[in-house]
Amino acid sequence: MLIKDILDQTRPAYSFEFFPPKTDGDWDKLFYTIADLMPLKPSAVSVTYGAGGSTRERTHDLVVRIQKETNLTVASHLTCVGSSQDEIRQILERYDQAGVHNILALRGDAPKGQKEWTPSPDGFHYATELVAFIKKHYPHFGIGVAGFPEGHPEMPNRLKEIDNLKAKVDQGADYIVTQLFFENRDFYDFCERCQLAGIKVPIIAGLMPITTRSGMIRMAELSAGSRFPSALLKAVQRAGDNDDYVEKAGMHWATEQVRDLIDHDVRGIHFYTLNKAKATQHIYETLCMAGTP
């Protein structure tokens, strides 16, 4: 089933994100997590994608395995990094043959050690081009794209940022999944600015609960400037060096975010699970959300 159709039928829709294991020994561990989360009945799941072959084959293997062994709707991330147009077509053809027809089309980040992002020879410069390519050659696919409630780290001009997002939608994107955020007002403002720009596709809120202090630091580094509200920082500070308290504070904050988003009739919520089930299960149980065992 296409995610765009799910969003038309289910409100709010819930989705979970996984990343492919780096070692063979972690495969079973990941599928234990997926098994733990399946009773929550997510509307869809997605799998992240490594550029330049770093996890590309593992991504494909995981997506196909989820497609074959579960009843979950699965979407695969696909980036412009490290691939020519012909290689992109081959990847899409493999997914098509496997019955996987949902793609999250991304430009992708520069590989480690490379200061600036540069396209591959005969590759795509922007996600807009990738969306147009998929729509042209695989019109039966559903396409999602990324949105940035706190601003794109490489685009200080917030007006141009929304123009670029609209260009992706105009080329055929069916929905938007946002990067993580911790202040819901940033998400609501982002949605309103999209509306003003004429963007009418569903916008899914992306959330990642804080579970460790070191994890919060990594979030700040990876997302190039996540805004942590002072109230959240105070809660984490009160937890001190007790990891259990930090986890409880982070899950409580994320739970309140979800409650508020549901109260504001959000179209969907996307949980960045980090291949762990506990935080997502806690949120479901606390809010008595549909699918709770």
Contact 280, 16 (CB under 8 A): yes
Residue with tokens 């942590």: 228
Contact 130, 103 (CB under 8 A): no
The four Cα atoms 53, 57, 59, 64 give a dihedral, to 10 degrees, of: 160
**Strand, coil or helix: what is 192?**
helix
> What are the start-end ranges of the E strands in 140-264?
142-147, 175-180, 203-207
117-138 exposure pattern, b = at least 16 Cβ within 10 A, e = fewer = eebbeebbeebbbbbbbbbeeb
C-alpha count within 13 angstroms, C-beta hemisphere, residue 56: 18
The token pair at 27 is 């495969």
**Strand, coil or helix: what is 124?**
coil
Contact 181, 226 (CB under 8 A): yes
How far is residue 13's CA from residue 15's CA, in Å, rounded to a whole number?
A: 7
Known active-site residue 129: no
User: What are the phi and psi torsion angles at 104 (to 5°)?
Assistant: -100, 110
Question: Catalytic residue positions?
Answer: 17
